[in-house]
């Protein structure tokens, strides 16, 4: 039975504000992100033997909301990356180094590729490009020594400097009627570039000045051609050197602002790397109280980079037994911290730098399960 006293009340409809507003996830296209990563550290700075760049690419289009940083991409780290919904993994060490002839479930590195592709996760590796840059791994490692000035142990030159060839050859030709014959012969020599001619005057006579760039191999043929021809003079051969890139290269030579005892320096390094123990070989005639003024630093493996460097101390992740013996015999103390322990701490600094470089467009996280495989027991 309906009650006659019930009245319908008309009220304007009001929009009720939601209690929780979910922010939209920001993202970047994979190609744009890779381009930005390459701008942060040019892959041309990596060693020629290295395997750097985008190693695994899901089918396009692929967008990245979460960038996952790790020093080594192991299966445990891959599982963590998938659990944290990573779209791109930046692995400092390339998980694919030697060529893979098949992609099966048999080996752990093949399984990494399979899981990445199945879950649409890209893999990017910068490795030695990050070793070389001024704001890279070696500069981070050098901070563990305290206040110091650093220069690269092996400086790098500008890889894309516009000058081609290794030498420039300039010579003058008196008789212009034979000029085209000479130029035609020059153009037939491989590895010659920037061949130009300019009018010139010498001792009141009209001449043609010829300039070209060539490689070391081509230089021999150019000189042989000119030696067979008597129509030229005032030949100049110049060695072309590409300019050094400021503060860029492998390893670092660090000069401390004040000498520090080896004992105090080991404590600084352990604190910087957050390690309870490191390995130390005292140089011949040195004690823990010996002062250190100059230290040579190389993240990872210092065998080749530190070889022959004069310093009071070598700081690196690993060196061969005989390389350590050679250094000790020269009075150089050696600190070894295990390979990846001299690299992994850089990732937190990298996260902040990339966040700024990428204008906070994506989420960047550092692996919690990534660790050096070696333990002191």
Residue with tokens 């019930």: 6
- Nearest alpha carbon to residue 194 among 209, 211, 171: 211
343 appears as a binding residue in the annotation: yes
Instruction: State both tokens at 102.
Output: 């098949």
Give the 3-state secondary structure of residue 205. strand
Cis peptide before 123 (omega within 30 of 0): no
- For residues 19 and 326, give the distance between their C-alpha atoms in angstroms, rounded to a whole number: 69
Residue with tokens 């319908």: 8
> Do 284 and 328 contact (CB within 8 A), yes or no?
yes
339 appears as a binding residue in the annotation: yes
Region for residue 285 given its phi and psi (left: phi exceeds 0; alpha: psi -120 to 50; beta: otherwise)? left
> Do 295 and 312 contact (CB within 8 A), yes or no?
yes
* CA distance readout (Å), 298 to 66, 70, 79, 162, 167: 30, 19, 30, 31, 33
Instruction: State both tokens at 165.
Output: 């060839």
131 appears as a binding residue in the annotation: yes
- Nearest alpha carbon to residue 230 among 167, 184, 183, 174: 174
- ∠ CA 268-269-275 to the nearest 5 degrees? 115
Annotated binding site: 93, 131, 339, 343
Annotated binding site for a divalent metal cation: 93, 131, 339, 343
């Amino acid at each position: 039975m309906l009650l006659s006293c019930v009245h319908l009340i008309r009220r304007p409809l009001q929009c009720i504000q939601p209690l929780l507003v979910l922010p939209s996830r920001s993202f970047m296209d994979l190609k744009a992100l890779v381009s930005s990563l390459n701008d942060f550290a040019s892959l041309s700075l990596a060693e020629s033997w290295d395997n750097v760049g985008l190693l695994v690419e899901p089918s396009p289009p692929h967008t990245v909301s979460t960038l996952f940083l790790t020093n080594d991409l192991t299966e445990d780290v891959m599982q963590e990356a998938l659990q944290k919904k990573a779209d791109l993994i930046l692995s400092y060490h390339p998980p694919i180094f030697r060529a893979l002839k098949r992609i099966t479930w048999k080996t752990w590195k093949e399984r990494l590729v399979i899981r990445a592709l199945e879950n649409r996760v890209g893999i990017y590796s910068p490795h030695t490009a990050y070793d070389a840059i001024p704001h890279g791994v070696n500069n981070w490692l050098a901070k563990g020594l305290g206040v110091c000035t650093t220069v690269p142990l092996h400086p790098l030159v500008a890889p894309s400097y516009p000058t081609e060839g290794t030498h420039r050859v300039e010579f003058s030709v008196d008789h212009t009627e034979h000029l085209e014959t000479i130029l035609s012969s020059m153009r037939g020599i491989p590895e010659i570039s920037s061949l130009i001619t300019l009018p010139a005057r010498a001792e009141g006579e009209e001449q043609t000045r010829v300039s070209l760039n060539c490689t070391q191999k081509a230089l021999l043929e150019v000189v042989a051609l000119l030696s067979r021809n008597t129509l030229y003079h005032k030949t100049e051969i110049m060695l072309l050197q590409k300019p050094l890139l400021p503060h860029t290269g492998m390893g670092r030579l660090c000069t401390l602002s004040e000498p520090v005892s080896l004992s105090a320096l080991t404590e600084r390094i352990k604190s910087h790397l957050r390690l309870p123990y490191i390995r130390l070989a005292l140089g011949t005639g040195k004690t823990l109280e010996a002062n250190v003024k100059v230290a040579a630093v190389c993240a990872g493996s210092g065998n080749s980079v530190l070889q022959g460097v004069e310093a009071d101390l070598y700081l690196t992740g690993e060196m061969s037994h005989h390389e350590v013996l050679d250094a000790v015999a020269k009075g150089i103390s050696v600190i070894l911290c295990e390979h990846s322990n001299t690299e992994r701490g850089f990732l937190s600094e990298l996260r902040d730098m990339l966040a700024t470089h990428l204008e906070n467009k994506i989420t960047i996280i550092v692996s919690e399960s990534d660790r050096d495989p070696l333990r002191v027991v």
